[in-house]
Chain A
Amino acid sequence: SQKIEQNSEALNIQEGKTATLTCNYTNYSPAYLQWYRQDPGRGPVFLLLIRENEKEKRKERLKVTFDTTLKQSLFHITASQPADSATYLCAPAGGYQKVTFGIGTKLQVIP
Protein backbone atom coordinates (compact mmCIF):
# COMPACT_ATOMS: atom_id res chain seq x y z
CA SER A 1 0.00 0.00 0.00
CA GLN A 2 1.04 3.61 -0.48
CA LYS A 3 3.06 4.98 2.37
CA ILE A 4 4.34 8.44 3.20
CA GLU A 5 7.00 9.06 5.81
CA GLN A 6 8.06 12.42 7.10
CA ASN A 7 11.41 12.68 8.80
CA SER A 8 10.40 13.26 12.35
CA GLU A 9 7.39 14.05 14.37
CA ALA A 10 8.90 17.28 15.71
CA LEU A 11 11.74 19.51 14.64
CA ASN A 12 13.10 22.35 16.76
CA ILE A 13 15.26 24.97 15.13
CA GLN A 14 16.76 28.29 16.08
CA GLU A 15 15.35 31.43 14.51
CA GLY A 16 17.30 32.46 11.42
CA LYS A 17 18.48 28.96 10.59
CA THR A 18 17.33 26.84 7.66
CA ALA A 19 14.79 24.17 8.47
CA THR A 20 14.87 21.05 6.30
CA LEU A 21 11.95 18.65 6.31
CA THR A 22 11.99 15.27 4.57
CA CYS A 23 9.22 13.37 2.86
CA ASN A 24 9.72 9.82 1.61
CA TYR A 25 7.05 7.83 -0.20
CA THR A 26 6.77 4.21 -1.29
CA ASN A 27 4.64 2.08 -3.56
CA TYR A 28 3.55 4.71 -6.01
CA SER A 29 4.82 7.16 -8.60
CA PRO A 30 3.20 10.55 -8.16
CA ALA A 31 3.10 12.99 -11.03
CA TYR A 32 3.59 15.82 -8.55
CA LEU A 33 4.03 16.49 -4.88
CA GLN A 34 2.55 19.19 -2.72
CA TRP A 35 3.52 20.71 0.59
CA TYR A 36 1.02 22.18 2.99
CA ARG A 37 1.13 24.03 6.27
CA GLN A 38 -1.38 23.24 9.00
CA ASP A 39 -1.90 25.26 12.13
CA PRO A 40 -3.74 23.75 15.14
CA GLY A 41 -7.49 23.54 14.60
CA ARG A 42 -7.27 24.72 11.00
CA GLY A 43 -7.37 23.17 7.57
CA PRO A 44 -4.12 22.77 5.61
CA VAL A 45 -2.92 25.68 3.51
CA PHE A 46 -1.25 24.99 0.19
CA LEU A 47 2.37 26.17 -0.06
CA LEU A 48 4.11 24.68 -3.06
CA LEU A 49 3.65 22.10 -5.78
CA ILE A 50 6.49 20.46 -7.69
CA ARG A 51 6.01 18.28 -10.73
CA GLU A 52 7.87 15.05 -11.46
CA ASN A 53 9.90 16.68 -14.22
CA GLU A 54 11.03 19.51 -11.94
CA LYS A 55 14.03 19.12 -9.69
CA GLU A 56 13.52 22.22 -7.60
CA LYS A 57 10.91 24.89 -6.96
CA ARG A 58 11.26 28.09 -4.97
CA LYS A 59 8.84 30.56 -3.47
CA GLU A 60 10.20 33.36 -1.33
CA ARG A 61 11.95 31.64 1.62
CA LEU A 62 10.69 28.20 0.64
CA LYS A 63 12.46 25.66 -1.53
CA VAL A 64 11.29 22.20 -2.49
CA THR A 65 13.20 19.45 -4.24
CA PHE A 66 11.76 16.30 -5.78
CA ASP A 67 13.85 13.21 -6.48
CA THR A 68 11.71 10.59 -8.18
CA THR A 69 14.56 8.08 -8.12
CA LEU A 70 14.95 8.31 -4.37
CA LYS A 71 11.20 8.80 -3.95
CA GLN A 72 11.91 11.75 -1.75
CA SER A 73 11.12 15.43 -1.41
CA LEU A 74 12.94 17.94 0.74
CA PHE A 75 11.29 21.10 2.00
CA HIS A 76 13.50 23.97 3.11
CA ILE A 77 12.60 27.15 4.97
CA THR A 78 15.46 29.62 4.98
CA ALA A 79 15.87 32.36 7.58
CA SER A 80 13.21 30.66 9.68
CA GLN A 81 10.98 32.78 11.91
CA PRO A 82 8.81 31.91 14.93
CA ALA A 83 5.78 32.52 12.69
CA ASP A 84 6.90 29.53 10.62
CA SER A 85 6.10 27.25 13.54
CA ALA A 86 3.41 24.84 12.36
CA THR A 87 2.95 21.30 11.10
CA TYR A 88 4.07 20.75 7.53
CA LEU A 89 2.47 18.04 5.44
CA CYS A 90 3.64 16.52 2.20
CA ALA A 91 1.21 15.03 -0.26
CA PRO A 92 2.30 13.15 -3.37
CA ALA A 93 -0.47 12.83 -5.97
CA GLY A 94 -1.25 12.60 -9.66
CA GLY A 95 -3.97 14.02 -11.90
CA TYR A 96 -7.35 13.61 -10.29
CA GLN A 97 -6.00 11.10 -7.84
CA LYS A 98 -6.94 11.40 -4.24
CA VAL A 99 -4.43 13.22 -2.11
CA THR A 100 -2.88 11.23 0.69
CA PHE A 101 -1.03 12.95 3.49
CA GLY A 102 1.80 12.00 5.76
CA ILE A 103 1.43 12.63 9.48
CA GLY A 104 3.45 15.78 9.07
CA THR A 105 6.44 17.30 10.75
CA LYS A 106 5.81 19.75 13.56
CA LEU A 107 8.28 22.58 13.24
CA GLN A 108 9.05 24.79 16.20
CA VAL A 109 11.20 27.85 15.53
CA ILE A 110 12.76 29.07 18.74
CA PRO A 111 13.41 32.82 19.08
Chain B
Amino acid sequence: GAVVSQHPSWVICKSGTSVKIECRSLDFQATTMFWYRQFPKQSLMLMATSNEGSKATYEQGVEKDKFLINHASLTLSTLTVTSAHPEDSSFYICSATAGPGQNYGYTFGSGTRLTVV
Protein backbone atom coordinates (compact mmCIF):
# COMPACT_ATOMS: atom_id res chain seq x y z
CA GLY B 1 0.00 0.00 0.00
CA ALA B 2 0.86 3.67 -0.14
CA VAL B 3 3.62 4.75 2.23
CA VAL B 4 4.58 8.22 3.36
CA SER B 5 7.92 8.67 5.06
CA GLN B 6 8.44 11.65 7.34
CA HIS B 7 11.77 12.74 8.78
CA PRO B 8 12.97 13.42 11.33
CA SER B 9 10.69 11.67 13.78
CA TRP B 10 11.79 14.06 16.49
CA VAL B 11 13.97 17.14 16.72
CA ILE B 12 15.10 19.49 19.46
CA CYS B 13 16.30 22.91 18.42
CA LYS B 14 17.30 26.16 20.03
CA SER B 15 14.97 29.13 19.96
CA GLY B 16 15.62 31.29 16.90
CA THR B 17 16.90 28.53 14.66
CA SER B 18 15.13 26.93 11.70
CA VAL B 19 14.06 23.33 11.32
CA LYS B 20 13.21 21.45 8.14
CA ILE B 21 10.84 18.49 8.08
CA GLU B 22 10.63 16.22 5.04
CA CYS B 23 7.66 14.28 3.79
CA ARG B 24 8.16 11.73 1.01
CA SER B 25 5.72 9.50 -0.80
CA LEU B 26 7.65 6.29 -1.35
CA ASP B 27 5.59 4.29 -3.79
CA PHE B 28 3.28 6.79 -5.41
CA GLN B 29 3.33 10.27 -6.82
CA ALA B 30 1.60 12.74 -4.54
CA THR B 31 -0.11 15.54 -6.39
CA THR B 32 -1.22 17.05 -3.12
CA MET B 33 0.31 16.99 0.33
CA PHE B 34 -1.06 18.41 3.56
CA TRP B 35 0.70 19.60 6.68
CA TYR B 36 -0.94 19.35 10.08
CA ARG B 37 -0.02 20.35 13.60
CA GLN B 38 -1.32 18.61 16.68
CA PHE B 39 -1.05 19.82 20.26
CA PRO B 40 -1.52 17.36 23.14
CA LYS B 41 -5.09 16.07 23.44
CA GLN B 42 -6.23 18.22 20.55
CA SER B 43 -7.32 17.44 17.03
CA LEU B 44 -5.14 17.59 13.98
CA MET B 45 -5.15 21.17 12.72
CA LEU B 46 -4.54 21.66 9.03
CA MET B 47 -1.80 24.20 8.42
CA ALA B 48 -1.49 24.21 4.66
CA THR B 49 -2.16 22.38 1.43
CA SER B 50 0.82 21.85 -0.81
CA ASN B 51 0.44 21.21 -4.55
CA GLU B 52 3.39 20.13 -6.63
CA GLY B 53 4.89 23.00 -8.58
CA SER B 54 2.76 25.74 -7.08
CA LYS B 55 2.55 27.81 -3.96
CA ALA B 56 1.07 26.29 -0.86
CA THR B 57 -2.34 27.37 0.38
CA TYR B 58 -2.23 28.27 4.04
CA GLU B 59 -5.09 28.04 6.49
CA GLN B 60 -6.28 31.15 8.24
CA GLY B 61 -4.02 32.12 11.10
CA VAL B 62 -0.98 30.21 9.84
CA GLU B 63 1.97 32.47 9.08
CA LYS B 64 3.31 31.62 5.64
CA ASP B 65 6.61 33.36 6.30
CA LYS B 66 7.16 31.33 9.41
CA PHE B 67 6.10 27.95 8.05
CA LEU B 68 7.71 27.64 4.63
CA ILE B 69 6.39 24.84 2.46
CA ASN B 70 8.06 23.58 -0.68
CA HIS B 71 6.62 20.85 -2.91
CA ALA B 72 9.24 20.72 -5.62
CA SER B 73 8.54 17.20 -6.84
CA LEU B 74 5.71 14.70 -6.89
CA THR B 75 7.35 12.72 -4.09
CA LEU B 76 8.69 15.35 -1.72
CA SER B 77 7.29 18.21 0.31
CA THR B 78 9.18 20.05 3.01
CA LEU B 79 8.05 22.20 5.90
CA THR B 80 10.56 24.63 7.36
CA VAL B 81 9.80 26.22 10.69
CA THR B 82 11.78 29.44 10.62
CA SER B 83 12.99 31.28 13.70
CA ALA B 84 11.40 28.65 15.90
CA HIS B 85 10.15 29.59 19.35
CA PRO B 86 8.97 27.42 22.24
CA GLU B 87 5.33 27.97 21.28
CA ASP B 88 6.08 26.23 17.97
CA SER B 89 6.78 23.02 19.88
CA SER B 90 4.23 20.55 18.62
CA PHE B 91 3.65 17.35 16.68
CA TYR B 92 3.79 17.98 12.93
CA ILE B 93 2.29 15.44 10.55
CA CYS B 94 2.12 15.35 6.77
CA SER B 95 -0.26 13.44 4.56
CA ALA B 96 -0.34 12.78 0.87
CA THR B 97 -2.74 11.65 -1.79
CA ALA B 98 -2.12 10.50 -5.34
CA GLY B 99 -5.40 11.88 -6.57
CA PRO B 100 -8.98 12.45 -5.53
CA GLY B 101 -9.42 11.30 -1.97
CA GLN B 102 -12.40 9.14 -2.74
CA ASN B 103 -10.27 6.99 -5.00
CA TYR B 104 -6.97 6.95 -3.18
CA GLY B 105 -7.54 7.97 0.41
CA TYR B 106 -4.96 9.86 2.38
CA THR B 107 -1.78 8.40 3.75
CA PHE B 108 -0.09 9.96 6.74
CA GLY B 109 3.50 10.12 7.81
CA SER B 110 4.47 9.02 11.29
CA GLY B 111 4.87 12.60 12.48
CA THR B 112 7.68 14.81 13.78
CA ARG B 113 7.87 15.86 17.40
CA LEU B 114 9.43 19.33 17.49
CA THR B 115 10.71 20.72 20.77
CA VAL B 116 12.08 24.25 20.83
CA VAL B 117 14.18 25.09 23.85
What are the interface flags for A23-47 relative to B under an 8 Å C-beta threshold, 1 for contact and 0 otherwise? 0000000011010100001111110
Q: Is B46 an interface residue (CB 8 A)?
A: yes
Contacts known (A93-B101, A95-B100); A34 close to B43, Cβ less than 8 A: no
Docked complex: A76-111 residues within 8 A CB-CB of B: 89, 91, 93-104
A95:B102 contact, CB within 8 angstroms: yes
Residue contact A43 to B101, C-beta cutoff 8 Å: no
- Say yes or no: B102 contacts A32, CB within 8 Å: yes
Query: Within the complex, which residue of B102, B111, B113 is in contact with A49, where a contact is CB–CB below 8 Å?
Result: B102
**Interface residue range, chain B:** 20 to 34
Check A46 against B105 for contact (C-beta < 8 Å).
yes
The docked-state distance in angstroms from the alpha carbon of A31 to that of B100 is: 11
Known A98-B46, A99-B46, A101-B43; judge A43-B6 contact (CB<8 A): yes
Q: Known A98-B46, A99-B46, A104-B43; judge A43-B108 contact (CB<8 A).
A: yes
**B67 located at the interface, meaning its Cβ lies under 8 Å from any Cβ of chain A in the complex:** no
Min CB gap B29→A, angstroms: 14
Interface residues on A, range: 20 to 34
Scan residues 3-56 of chain A and give those whose CB is less than 8 A from a CB of chain B.
31-32, 34, 36, 41-46, 49, 51
Interface core residue of A45, A51, A95, A99 (most chain B CB under 10 Å): A99
Among A41, A44, A95, which residue has its beta carbon within 8 angstroms of that of B101? A95
What residues of chain A lie closer than 8 Å to B113, measured between beta carbons?
Answer: 41
Q: Can you report 14 A-B residue pairs in the complex whose CB atoms are below 8 A from each other? A: A34-B105, A43-B95, A44-B95, A46-B107, A49-B102, A49-B105, A89-B43, A89-B44, A91-B106, A93-B101, A95-B101, A96-B100, A102-B43, A104-B43
Taking Cβ atoms with an 8 Å cutoff, the residues of B that contact A are: 6, 31-32, 34, 42-44, 46, 49, 91, 93, 95, 97, 100-102, 105-111, 113
